[in-house]
Amino acid sequence: MKFRRDTGAESDTTREEVREMAEALSLYRSAMRHIAEKEAARSRVAEPRPGRSIRFGMLLAPALTAVVAAAVLVPVYSHLHHPTSAPGVVVKTSQAGPADTRANVDDTVLMNQIDSELSEDVPDALRPLADLGNQTTNASSVSEKKNVTQE
Amino acid sequence: MEEIAGNELAIDKREQAMLELADFDEVVRVYRPRILRFLLSSLTDRDAAESLTQECFLKAWSARHQFRGDSSLSTWLTRIAVNLMRDHLRSRSLRFWQKTRGSSLDVMDISDWVPDGRSSPESLTVARDRVAAVWRAVESLSAQQRAVFVLRFVEEMELDEIAGTIGMNLSTVKSHLYRALAIIRERMGGAK
């Protein structure tokens, strides 16, 4: 009988310990959730700082900007550095060969896509380059005319 | 027939997962608190938890095409977080001299936490003392014991889910959890 009573007391103690432990764990869970919510709120407030937040929808913006810049700069650059090519080759795509035509069409489609996605015009900062390109084109066409006359 | 049904189910799960992943801003919004909570509970370091949470979602974004929907999105993200935490702890142990305790959480951080349904100052104090005792005990656990403990008792994950997330077999998870509870119980007994 004594043995039984001891076992019962022991099991009561164990049960009480387990109950206390379960309660402590539940309290710990609540506390951790509270702290995590507080931290999440704190970091949400801090998000406007550069480099802290990640807007995944914005990840494509730099890439698209680079494509726009490349699409505008490459023709301007090639125009400036190949003055002997036919005048207006950049503007008048119909004068180029079949492969170039296809490339230009692809570029146009791409530009339209990018335009519609970004809703942005060609950067204003590139306009002076375009004007410079026109002047170079005029100058080269004048010199070509001179050459033809001399021949 | 069963095989076809199984395949269709797998395709459905994958499509569901892909659909969920398509709106990644929403994924971040829904799962970020959970990942942050897990890392904060495991590392008890605000800056490290915040930084690893960001990294977790960046990794998930980069690897989103590899996600096959075999597990839930939550489990997949937690698995990434566990791996990042492992790497972090490994690198931290190499830099043992670097004491970056400036952003660490401590028992004082629970001072403004008020447990539900306790209004008397005495019960409030008892509750806070108990949480503090568990807190200190959890800090003394090994990284693996702590991860298993947090996933079970803070995140309330099932044991087989924990096994899948941490990459351990079920009996190892049980063993870690058993040891963790024994340590906490012992510490709490000592704290009384």
Question: For residue B153, which residues of chain A lie inside 8 Å, CB to CB?
Answer: 25, 28-29
Shortest distance, CA B100 to any CA of chain A (angstroms): 18
pLDDT recorded at residue B89 = 85
User: Does B123 lie in the same domain as B101?
Assistant: no
B168 and B113, same domain (yes or no): yes
Domain match, B8 and B96 both: yes
Q: Clarify whether residues B137 and B185 are in a common domain.
A: yes
Give the pLDDT of residue A119: 47
At B154 the three-state DSSP class reads coil
Predicted-complex ipTM score: 0.81
Q: Which residues in chain A (6-45) have CB-CB distances under 8 A to chain B?
A: 17, 20-21, 23-25, 27-37, 39-40, 43
- Its pTM stands at 0.60
Tally of domains within chain B: 2
Sole residue written with tokens 């590139």: A126
Query: Which of these three, B105, B121, B144, is where a domain ends?
Result: B105
Q: Are residues B89 and B166 in the same domain?
A: no
Domain boundary among B105, B133, B154: B105
| pLDDT confidence of residue B81 | 95
- Tokens found for residue A19: 């109950």
Domain around A26: 1-53
Do residues B159 and B170 touch, judged by C-beta distance below 8 A?
Answer: yes
Interchain proximity A35–B36, CB inside 8 Å: no
pLDDT per residue as tens digits for the range A39-79: 888 766 665 444 444 455 555 555 556 656 666 666 656 65
CB nearest to B110's CB, from A35, A43, A56: A35
Which residue in chain A has the smallest CA separation from B126?
A24
Residues A92 and A107 in one domain: yes
pLDDT per residue rounded down to tens, chain B (192 residues): 556 666 666 667 677 777 778 888 999 999 999 999 999 999 888 888 999 999 999 999 998 888 888 888 899 999 999 999 988 888 765 555 455 555 676 666 666 677 766 667 888 888 888 888 898 899 899 989 999 999 999 999 999 999 999 989 999 999 999 999 999 988 887 555
Q: How far is A114 from chain B (nearest CA, A)?
A: 20
In CATH, what number is assigned to the domain containing residue B70? 1.10.1740.10
Residue range(s) defining the domain that contains residue B3: 1-105
Of the candidates A86, A90, A97, the one whose C-alpha atom is nearest the C-alpha of residue A129 is A90
| Residue A64 Cα, gap to closest chain B Cα (Å) | 18
Residues A12 and A27 in one domain: yes
**Angstrom distance (rounded) from CA B190 to CA B192:** 6
For residues A94 and A47, state if they share a domain.
Answer: no
User: Do residues A72 and A143 share a domain?
Assistant: yes
Which residue in B32, B36, B130 is closest to A27 by CB distance?
A: B130
* CATH classification at residue B169: 1.10.10.10
Rounded percentage of chain A residues whose pLDDT exceeds 70? 21
Same domain, B101 and B7: yes
**A47–B contact, CB cutoff 8 A:** no
Can you give the pLDDT at residue B21?
80
- CA angle, corner B83, sides to B157 and B33, nearest 5? 50
Q: Same domain for A81 and A145?
A: yes
Same domain, B74 and B131: no
Question: DSSP readout, B59-126?
Answer: HHHHTGGG--SSS-HHHHHHHHHHHHHHHHHHHHHHTTT---GGGB--GGGGTT---TT--SHHHHHH
> pLDDT by residue (tens digit) across B81-92?
999 998 888 876
Work out how many domains chain A is built from and give that number.
2
Together in a domain, A22 and A79: no
